[in-house]
Chains A and B, each alone.
Chain A
Amino acid sequence: MSIGHTLLALLESGPCHGYDLKRAFDARFGHDRPLHYGQVYATMSRLLKNGLVEVDGIEHGDGPERKRYAITDAGITDVGRWLAEPEKPEPYLQSVLYTKVVVALLTGRDADSLLDAQRTEHLRLMRELTRRKVSGDLADQLICDHALFHLEADLRWLEITAARLDQLAEAVRP
């Protein structure tokens, strides 16, 4: 889901071609794994089908035809919903969370409350795990602890990100 939402969010700043979308995505989020053009194309057609984007125009040139996509109102609402909904806490969330934070900053949404919501969600799960741990046997304790330590690491990341939000906003908003 997240690539679709990210591309949608990138469209919020104005209509653009699929190729430009890939470049913009790679520049901000694709540090390790750049998007394949096919991925962009497939995602955009799904978004188009769901009515979240519309084709703004088609250019005919030497190569293949190039469609210009624009976000619809439904698309904007969808991005907002995605950002507001905390992720289910699980290990290795950082890339999604990072993406969301940057997206929020890019689209001028409140990244702070995004982070707060996420930390509340993390802590809620941690409470649950802690409860299970306290009442469980040793195996439960060890398993819960594993999860807890990972969640704690995420939570620390959330806190440190929250503390550096201003810096980040400057970096992503040229």
Chain B
Amino acid sequence: MTRSPAAPSGSLLAAAGLHKAYGPTTALAGADFSVHPGEVVAVMGPSGSGKSTLLHCLAGIVRPDAGTVRYGARDLSALPDAERSALRRTEFGFVFQFGQLVPELTCLENVALPLRLNGVKRREAELQALHRLEQLEVADARGKRPGEISGGQSQRVAVARALVTTPRVIFADEPTGALDSLNGERVMRLLTEAARDTRAAVVLVTHEARVAAYSDREVVVRDGRARDMAGVGLS
């Protein structure tokens, strides 16, 4: 019943036939996926369906047991760890549900972190970081540490951090999972707006329909397979 995903032609990031098991637990069993530049794709599905694993595979954090992940001309699943790290550092941005900010660094330093990992000078990095914080309406928190700001603020700081390197793909894993509706909506609005501004693709893992409503397209992961919903219902 699994349909092949939207045609990978012109796609920025495409995965085919992904398999991944953690010990006896099968997380992915032949999942396909693709995303185009500037597209926001929601990955939905019940808990434990493998949607986070799909995201981890797509982002090159986890190497799938089988299948390929193509980013442009490169096969992520074949790259060595160092190159995948470099790719994540330069081309991808990440937002997670919680606990992603380094607790000892100030918000500004947290946002500047990816740039500094790329070798940008501290002053320059923090300048750009400040710009992103302003864009995410959280510049007030720049001097504070993650423990001293609210959950909504810290998610916006996290989004700012994901955006700071102007990535081509932003991976967001339940970015609003720990937030109330209003804060969640705000984060989603800012995230999708910023992504559209920069033509970044967004892979958005969520189980909330209202969050998924910010996407252009949705993929449902069920039993380790990804089902592209664009074609459903037209038959």
User: Which A residues lie at the B interface, using CB under 8 A?
Assistant: 84, 86, 112-113, 116-123, 126-127, 129-130, 134, 148-149, 151-152, 155-156, 159, 163
Question: Shortest CB–CB separation between residue B167 and chain A, in angstroms?
Answer: 22
Any A CB within 8 A of the CB of B82: no
Task: Report whether A130 and B214 are in contact in the complex, using a CB–CB cutoff of 8 Å.
Answer: yes
Could you mark each residue 133-151 of chain B with 1 if its beta carbon is under 8 Å from any beta carbon of chain A, else 0?
Answer: 0000000000000000000
Q: Given contacts A84-B235, A134-B189, A163-B46, is CB(A116)–CB(B213) below 8 Å?
A: no
15 A-B pairs within 8 Å (CB atoms) are namely A84-B233, A84-B235, A113-B1, A113-B232, A116-B229, A116-B232, A121-B233, A123-B212, A123-B229, A127-B215, A127-B216, A130-B210, A149-B210, A156-B209, A163-B46
Contact among B214, B216, B233 for A120, CB-based, below 8 A: B233
**Which of A117, A126, A148 is the one whose CB lies under 8 Å from B232?**
A117
In the assembled complex, B58 has its CB within 8 A of some CB on chain A = no
Contacts of B227 in A (CB 8 A): 116
Contact call B1/A112, Cβ cutoff below 8 A: yes
B218 at the interface (CB under 8 A from A): yes
Within 8 A of A (CB), among B180-235: 189, 208-210, 212-216, 218, 220, 227, 229-230, 232-233, 235
Residues on A with beta carbons closer than 8 Å to the beta carbon of B208: 152
Which range contains the number of B residues in contact with the other chain?
Answer: 10 to 19
Least CB distance, B14 to chain A, in whole angstroms: 21
18 additional contacts (CB under 8 A) given A84-B235, A113-B1: A86-B233, A112-B1, A116-B227, A116-B229, A117-B233, A119-B220, A120-B229, A120-B233, A123-B229, A126-B213, A130-B210, A148-B213, A149-B210, A151-B209, A152-B209, A152-B210, A159-B46, A163-B46
Which residues on A sit within 8 Å (CB–CB) of B214? Answer: 127, 130
**A153: nearest residue on chain B (CB-CB)?**
B209
A118: chain B residues at CB < 8 Å are 233
Minimum C-beta distance from A110 to chain B (A): 8
Indicate whether A127 sits within 8 Å of B213 (C-beta atoms), given known contacts A116-B227, A134-B189, A159-B46: yes
Nearest Cβ on chain A to B38's Cβ, whole angstroms: 15
**CB nearest to B218 among chain A residues:** A123
Q: Which residue of A lies closest to B208 (CB)?
A: A152
Q: Say how far A160's CB is from chain B's closest CB, in angstroms.
A: 9
B213 adjacent to A123 (CB under 8 Å): yes
Q: Max chain A CB contacts within 10 Å: which of B1, B209, B220?
A: B209
